[in-house]
Structure 1
C-alpha cells in the first residue's frame, strides 16, 4: 500500500475514498432513518435531514477541498510536463484548472445549503458542480491524448475519454428531467407524479457522481512521481 501511494498519489486516492464514503455513509444513514426510499434517491436527498445532513455537509465540504487540491496539483503536473516536452497550449491547462475549481466551489455550495432549506441555492451549486465537473473531465481527456504517449498510455487516455463521454451523456438528461419535476419530496413511489422524471434524473446523477470518482482514480499513477516540498522564507531580522 505504501508503495502504491508513493509521491502525491495519496491525494487522489484520499479524494476517491473519502467521496465514496461520503455518498455511501449518508445513503445508509438516511435509509436506516427512513428519511428516503432505498431505491434511487437523489444524492442530495441523502443529506437533507438530520442526522445525515451533518455527515453529508462535513464530508462533502472536505471532498471539495480535496478536489481543489487534486485539480491544482494536476494543473502543476501538466504545466511541468508541457515545459519538458511541449504538447499543448498552456491555455487548455489553465481553462481546465478554472473549470475544476468552479466545480469544487459548487460542491461547497451543495454541502453548505441543504436541499430542503435553500433549494434554489442548493440546485445552483449542484448545477455548477456537475456541469463544470463534466467539462473538466472532458478537457483533461483531450489534454491526456495530446500528451500521449510521452506522459500517458493510450489505454489511460481511452479510459478517461470513456468516463468523460458517459458523464457528458448522463448530465444532459439529468438536468432536463430534474427541471421537469414539479414537486420536491424525499420519498417517492411509482404512483407519484413525475416519478419517471425522478428515476431518470437520479440514475444520471449517480452515474455522473461516480464517474467523477473513477476519473480521479486514473490520476493516481501520474501523482506517484510527484513530491511535495514546502519552503519557508523570512524577510528582515529575526
Structure 2
C-alpha cells in the first residue's frame, strides 16, 4: 500500500519534489529575512552560506541528495523490469543513466557538506558536478522515456520531459560562463556593482536548472504509481554451522 494514499512508489518522487522545493524556498526566505542576501535572484548557494540558514540548507540538501538517489535507483529498477518484458532499449543505457544520476547526487551531497565559506573550491566543483551530471541524467531519461512509449509512458509526458531537459541544458551554459566572468564571491549584489549583469544571468539560469530538476522528477509520480519495490529476507539454513 502506498504512503499517503499514493499507489505504488509514487510517494518517493512526491517526497523528493516537496522536500527539495522546501529546501530552496526555506533557505531563501531565512537568508532574505536575516539580510544576508539581496531578495532579487541570489545564487542558491548564497542562501545557505551564513547561519542560521546554513544549517537548514546543509541538512535539507543532504536529505534531498539521498531522496534523489533513492528515486533514481527505483526508476532504474522499474525500467529494468520493463525492459526485460518488452526489450525496449540497450540494457546498459539504463545502468549508465543511473550512474550519471548518482554522481550528480554525490555532487549535491558535497555541496551541502562543503559550503561556500568553508572549502570554496570543493563547493564549486561539487556544484558543477551536480548541475552537469543532473542535466545529463534528465536528458538520458527523456530519451529512455521515448523508448518506453507507449508501453509505460504517454507521448505527452515524453515531450514534457524533453522540453524540460532541453531548457535546462541550454541554461547551464550561460550559468557557467557568466559565473566564471563574475569570479568574486559576493552574497549581496547591487545593480551598480561591476559584473552585476553576469551575476544576474548566472543566478537566473541556476534557478532555472534547479527547478528544472524539480519539475522533471514531478513527472515521475505517474510512472511510480504503477510499480512496487519489495525487500525479501532469507535466513540461511546452515547459519548456525558458521
Q: How does 1:71-220 map to 2 (within 5 A)?
A: 71-220=72-221
Give the equivalent residue in structure 1 for 2:27.
26
CA distance, structure 2, for counterparts of residue 137 and residue 51 of structure 1: 32
Residue equivalent to 1:237: 240
Shift of 1:233: 2.1
Contact 2:37 2:187 in 1 (8 A): yes
Q: Structure 1 unaligned runs (5+)?
A: none
Question: TM (normalized to structure 1)?
Answer: 0.97
Deviations 1:119-143 (A, max 9, x none): 1100001001000000000000000
> Which deviations, in whole Å up to 9, do the C-alpha atoms of 1:50-71 show, x marking residues without a partner?
0000000000000000000000
- Aligned residues between the structures: 237
Task: Report the CA distance between 1:193 and its aligned residue.
Answer: 1.3
CA distance in 1, matches of 2:109, 2:183: 26
Task: Look up the match of 2:16.
Answer: 15
C-alpha distance in 1, partners of 2:148/2:183? 46
Please state how far the C-alpha of 1:162 moved relative to its aligned partner: 0.3
CA contact (8 A) 1:182 1:194 kept: no
Superposed CA deviations along residues 133-175 of structure 1, whole A, max 9, x for unmatched, are 0000000000001111111100000000000000001001101
Report runs of 4+ in structure 1 exceeding 2 Å deviation. Answer: none
**Distance in 1 (alpha carbons) for counterparts of 2:61 and 2:187:** 19
Q: Structure 2 CA distance, aligned partners of 1:103 and 1:193? A: 32
- C-alpha contact 2:100 2:136 (8 A) present in aligned 1: yes
- Which stretch shifts more, 226-235 or 32-41? 226-235
